């Protein structure tokens, strides 16, 4: 029996609290374009790919060239903010990443963020050595809730989908995990409903046996 198992981590809102940095970056970048968005618009799009967000915000003015230019400027600003101000893992993250690593779990980032953003965050966290792979916006054609990002992450780790557990903070991400045939842990810091197999307000509250129990339940379902 293949004993390999993997945890596929979303990044923004799951590993780190990057909401305010993204909000500042979008505000400043769009202001230079004469475009304004509300906090509600921003929050409803959080965790999605830029090439799906910007056409909705720009409307008829969303030419491919303009979308690419604005997205690039925004991400440059975001990375500069992280380099300047740093970023911290959310409560419980560092402990769980370490425990999973020591327990032999493979760990992969599966995010809608650009690869350069992911690398900047991992460098700020001094965590580049912990993860066995990264799947970013450049690696997939379809955003969450499409399962592509998770299936690619599982393939890169060399682990079957039913041996993977996804950790997410967004409904679309949890739906993507379900569509990939994977169990999921939802982190709901603001009390929003997440259709995950296990939901906590903080990873600090997870029981020590949670990851193993989820895999065991997945195995029982398929036997």
Q: Model's pTM, two decimal places? A: 0.89
Residue 212 has pLDDT above 60, yes or no: yes
Does residue 127 sit in helix, strand or coil? Answer: coil
Burial of 23 (0-12, 13-18, 19+ CB in 10 A): middle
* Selected catalytic residue, list 12, 51, 139, 146: 12
pLDDT (tens digit, 9 = 90+) per residue, 85-115? 999 999 999 999 999 999 999 999 999 899 9
pLDDT (tens digit, 9 = 90+) per residue, 142-171? 989 999 999 999 999 999 999 999 999 999
What contacts 152, CB < 8 A, 6 or more positions away?
110, 135, 139, 140
What is the distance between the alpha carbons of residues 192 and 187, in angstroms, rounded to a whole number? Answer: 9
For the segment(s) 6-17+88-222, the CATH number from 3.40.50.1000, 3.30.70.1280, 3.90.550.10, 3.40.710.10 is 3.40.50.1000
What's the mean pLDDT in 33-44?
A: 94
Tell me which residue has tokens 């001094």: 126
Predicted pLDDT at 192:
84
Q: What does the domain layout of the chain look like in residue ranges?
A: 6-17+88-222, 19-85
Predicted pLDDT at 222:
57
Is 190 catalytic? The answer is no
Is 146 catalytic? The answer is no
| CATH number given to 19-85 | 1.10.150.240
Of all helices (H) and strands (E), which one includes residue 145? none
């Amino acid at each position: 029996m293949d004993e390999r198992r993997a945890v596929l981590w979303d990044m923004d809102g799951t590993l780190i609290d990057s909401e305010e940095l993204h909000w500042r970056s979008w505000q400043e970048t769009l202001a230079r374009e004469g475009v304004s968005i509300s906090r509600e618009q921003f929050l409803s799009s959080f965790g999605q790919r830029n090439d799906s967000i910007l056409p909705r915000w720009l409307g008829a003015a969303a030419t491919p060239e303009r979308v690419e230019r604005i997205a690039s400027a925004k991400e440059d600003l975001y990375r500069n903010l992280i380099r300047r101000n740093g970023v911290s893992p959310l409560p419980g993250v560092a402990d769980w990443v370490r425990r999973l690593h020591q327990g032999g779990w493979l760990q992969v980032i599966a995010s809608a963020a650009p690869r350069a953003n992911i690398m900047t965050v991992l460098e700020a966290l001094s965590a580049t050595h912990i993860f066995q792979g990264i799947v970013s916006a450049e690696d997939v054609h379809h955003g969450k809730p499409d399962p592509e990002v998770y299936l690619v992450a599982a393939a890169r780790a060399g682990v079957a989908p039913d041996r993977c557990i996804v950790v997410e903070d967004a409904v679309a991400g949890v739906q993507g995990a379900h569509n990939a045939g994977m169990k999921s842990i939802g982190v709901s810091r603001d009390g929003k409903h997440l259709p995950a197999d296990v939901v906590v307000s903080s990873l600090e509250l997870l029981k020590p046996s949670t990851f193993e129990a989820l895999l065991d339940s997945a195995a029982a379902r398929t036997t």
